């Protein structure tokens, strides 16, 4: 037992050292997975996420009343005239600012909102959330995936993303929870009590107040989207919305559907699917995947793992650590330095160093001023994934009961998957959906965009659609912007993906 413990301890120090050295979306989720996997190890408390097991946390037991604050005049104040370095001749209506989610604690969330340059009054409102936990929707969603601009390699100027989801929706990016990006709490102990439930409650408080600030969107069709660990945030927020609507006996938030990509939804199948993906994509030996399943216990109630499991996991780690497991065939960033002259850039070409450009750009004082961000002069720099959150006190082991509930309530539920992501890969998503035992309505078929197969889809009775995006990694719109835009367009319109090449 004692020997077992010291091995565990080394294991943790090894992994969490990585997590602290370079925190990005990738390491954040990795750290959480490991913290959950070795939940009851004493080594888990000091340096990594600490996780309490919660099975299908439904949040309906306590539904706190939401404080609605006076929002008069705040929308006008939040209007962003132009972002520094924004390309000329791009006219966009954009807003950024803070919404207080808890006055007593002094918690406020930062949002960035882009109205569609198309007919904005007829288009829906789409919220986008990134995962982590602890990662910023500005860093990834807005500036790396589906927003209208991306930072250039000089860290000062922007180029346009003409395949932004703002072509088809009014898109709201939220940095959540407190401690992520520009979102903060004046009660800094809040950073150590973050978890799924608190995040859902604060996200709801944000939304209710934001709709008060932008009343023209109150009755608009509303959809929630996100990726990765937002596979928790999106359904959990949707659940709180439905509960509030039900409690009030009326529609407070006009939620129509959710869409989540490469999403963490069911720990057990998410993990098993990962090892199967590694083996079938020639990253680990078949025998190693077999050993993982033989020696490790992936059941959500497991509290310890044996030595053989840990040893096998190290083999996996050794085989996969030199590639970017979040997009197994794409390059890694070779040179993190900014350049004096911005490199030629287009959204059609994935740049693995984008994170570094975004980091430089969003830490510029003039950018923060223009965006109405960091108004309280936070004591730390803006980070794409939080350095101040290092305790995640509750994380459901599954959100599948919530998905089931949404289908019963008639919400549109889509799950998409970039098929070259190895972290929450298509195999995991397939196994998770299979565990729901839904009858298949339309069996696995190719869908098309611009004369090519964009991916494959399967539809299930009850209103669930699974769609893969061919050649996309974890952050789907970064890798396949045309396919991603086609996907979100069909989702929002409620029309099936195209089944013929045209």
Shortest CA distance to 216 belongs to which of 8, 390, 75?
75
User: Nearer Cβ to ligand NAG, position 311 or 381?
Assistant: 381
Comparing CB distances to ligand NAG, the nearer of 37 and 278 is 37
Yes or no: say if 172 and 128 are a contact pair by the CB < 8 Å rule.
yes
Of positions 382, 431, 479, 491, contacts ligand NAG by CB under 6 A:
382
Q: What's the token pair of residue 301?
A: 């109630």
Q: 423 with 29: CB under 8 angstroms? A: yes
User: For ligand NAG, which residue of 76, 119, 495, 502 counts as binding (CB under 6 A)?
Assistant: 119
Residue 474 falls in the annotated catalytic set = yes
- Alpha carbons within 13 angstroms on the beta-carbon side of residue 317 total 13
488 closest CA partner among 259, 265, 217, 230? 259
The CA-based angle 94-134-491, given to 5 degrees, is 55
Q: Is 421 a catalytic residue?
A: yes
d(CA 210, CA 198): 18
Nearer to ligand NAG, 314 or 493 (CB): 493
Binding segment (CB under 6 A) for ligand NAG, from list 102-110, 279-287, 317-325, 486-494:
102-110
Q: How far apart are CA 247 and CA 441, in angstroms?
A: 33
User: Does residue 102 touch ligand NAG according to CB under 6 A?
Assistant: yes
Residue 318 touches ligand NAG, criterion: CB under 6 A: no
Half-sphere exposure of 226 (CA within 13 A, CB side): 32
Q: Which of residues 414-453 bind ligand NAG (CB under 6 A)?
A: none
CB of 389 to ligand NAG, least distance (A): 10
Which region, judged by CB under 6 A, interacts with ligand NAG, from 12-20, 100-108, 129-137, 417-425?
100-108
End-to-end Cα separation, the chain, in angstroms = 63
**C-alpha dihedral (289, 422, 39, 12), degrees to nearest 10:** 90
Catalytic residue of the set 267, 324, 419, 421: 421
430 Cβ contact partners less than 8 Å away, ≥ 6 residues apart: 273, 466
Determine which residue in the list 301, 303, 450, 501 makes contact with ligand NAG, applying CB under 6 A.
Answer: 301
Question: Counting beta carbons within 10 angstroms of the beta carbon of residue 350, is it exposed (0 to 12), middle (13 to 18) or buried (19 or more)?
Answer: middle
Instruction: List C-alpha distances in Å: 393 to 145, 194, 195, 281.
Output: 29, 6, 5, 34
* Nearest residue (CB) to ligand NAG, 4 versus 106: 106
CB of 358 to ligand NAG, least distance (A): 13
- The only residue of 105, 323, 436, 453 in contact with ligand NAG, by rule CB under 6 A: 105
DSSP 371-439: HT--TT--SS---SB-SS-----EEESB-HHHHHHHHHTT-EEEEEEETT-SSS-HHHHHHHHHTTTPP
Toward ligand NAG, which CB reaches closer, 202 or 324? 202
> From the CB of 201, what's the least distance to ligand NAG, in Å?
6
CB-nearer residue toward ligand NAG: 202 or 459: 202
Site for ligand NAG in 29-68 (CB under 6 A): 45, 50, 55, 64, 67
Counting Cβ atoms within 10 Å, is residue 312 exposed (0-12), middle (13-18) or buried (19+)? buried
Q: Does 104 bind ligand NAG (CB under 6 A)?
A: yes
**Residue 341 binds ligand NAG (CB under 6 A):** no
The conformational region for residue 73 under phi > 0 = left, psi -120 to 50 = alpha, else beta, is left
Tell me how many residues contact ligand NAG (CB under 6 A): 41
Q: Smaller CB distance to ligand NAG: residue 107 or 412?
A: 107
Peptide bond before 209: cis, by omega within 30 degrees of 0?
A: no
Confirm or reject binding of residue 116 to ligand NAG (CB under 6 A): no
If the CB atoms of residues 181 and 422 are measured against ligand NAG, the closer one turns out to be 181
Q: Give the range of 324-332, 375-383, 446-454, 463-471 binding ligand NAG by CB under 6 A.
A: 375-383
Q: Of the ranges 89-97, 116-124, 134-142, 218-226, which one interacts with ligand NAG (CB under 6 A)?
A: 116-124
Query: CA neighbours within 13 Å on the CB side: how many for 389?
Result: 36
Tell me the catalytic residues: 228, 421, 474
Binding site for ligand NAG (CB under 6 A): 45, 50, 55, 64, 67, 100, 102, 104-108, 119, 121-122, 162, 182, 186-187, 190, 192-193, 299-301, 335, 337, 339, 346, 348, 365, 368, 374, 376-378, 380-382, 391, 393
């Amino acid at each position: 037992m004692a020997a077992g413990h010291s091995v565990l301890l080394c294991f943790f120090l090894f992994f969490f050292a990585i997590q602290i050295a370079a925190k990005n979306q990738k390491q954040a989720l990795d750290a959480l997975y490991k913290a959950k996997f070795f939940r009851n190890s004493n080594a888990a408390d000091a340096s990594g996420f600490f996780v309490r097991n919660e099975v299908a946390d439904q949040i309906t037991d306590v539904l706190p009343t939401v404080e609605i604050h006076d929002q008069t005049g705040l929308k006008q104040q939040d209007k962003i005239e132009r972002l520094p370095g924004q390309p000329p001749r791009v006219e966009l209506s954009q807003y950024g600012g803070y919404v207080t989610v808890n006055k007593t604690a002094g918690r406020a969330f930062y949002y960035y909102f882009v109205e569609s340059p198309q007919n904005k009054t007829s288009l829906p409102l789409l919220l986008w959330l990134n995962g982590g936990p602890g990662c910023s929707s500005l860093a990834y969603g807005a500036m790396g995936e589906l927003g209208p601009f991306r930072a250039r390699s000089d860290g000062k100027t922007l180029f346009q993303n003409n395949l932004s989801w703002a072509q088809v929706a009014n898109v709201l990016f939220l940095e959540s929870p407190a401690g992520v990006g520009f979102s903060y709490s004046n009660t800094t102990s809040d950073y150590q009590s973050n978890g799924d439930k608190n995040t859902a409650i604060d996200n709801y408080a944000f939304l209710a107040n934001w709709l008060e600030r932008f009343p023209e969107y109150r009755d608009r069709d509303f959809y929630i989207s996100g990726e990765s660990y937002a596979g928790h945030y999106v359904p959990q927020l949707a659940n709180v919305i439905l509960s509030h609507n039900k409690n009030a006996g009326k529609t407070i938030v006009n939620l129509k559907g959710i869409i989540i990509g490469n999403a963490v939804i069911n720990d057990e199948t998410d993990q098993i699917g990962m090892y199967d993906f590694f083996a079938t994509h020639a990253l680990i030996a078949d025998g190693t995947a077999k050993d993982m399943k033989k020696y490790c216990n992936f059941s959500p109630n497991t509290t310890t793992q044996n030595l053989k499991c840990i040893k096998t996991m190290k083999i996996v780690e050794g085989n996969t650590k030199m590639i970017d497991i979040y997009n197994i065939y794409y390059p890694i960033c070779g040179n993190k330095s900014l350049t004096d002259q911005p490199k030629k850039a287009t959204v059609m070409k994935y740049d693995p160093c984008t994170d570094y450009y975004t980091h430089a750009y969003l830490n510029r004082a003039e950018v923060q001023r223009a965006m109405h961000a960091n108004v309280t002069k936070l004591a730390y720099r803006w980070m794409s994934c939080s350095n101040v959150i290092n305790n995640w006190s509750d994380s459901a082991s599954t959100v599948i009961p919530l998905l089931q509930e949404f289908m019963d309530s008639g919400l549109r539920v889509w799950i998409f998957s970039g098929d070259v992501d190895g972290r929450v890969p298509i195999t995991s998503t397939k196994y998770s959906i299979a565990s729901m035992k839904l009858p298949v309505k339309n069996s696995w078929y190719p869908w098309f965009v611009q004369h090519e197969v964009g991916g494959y889809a399967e539809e299930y009775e009850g209103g669930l659609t699974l769609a893969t995006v061919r050649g996309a990694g974890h952050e789907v719109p970064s890798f396949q912007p045309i396919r991603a835009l086609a996907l979100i367009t069909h989702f929002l319109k409620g029309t099936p993906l195209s089944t013929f090449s045209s």
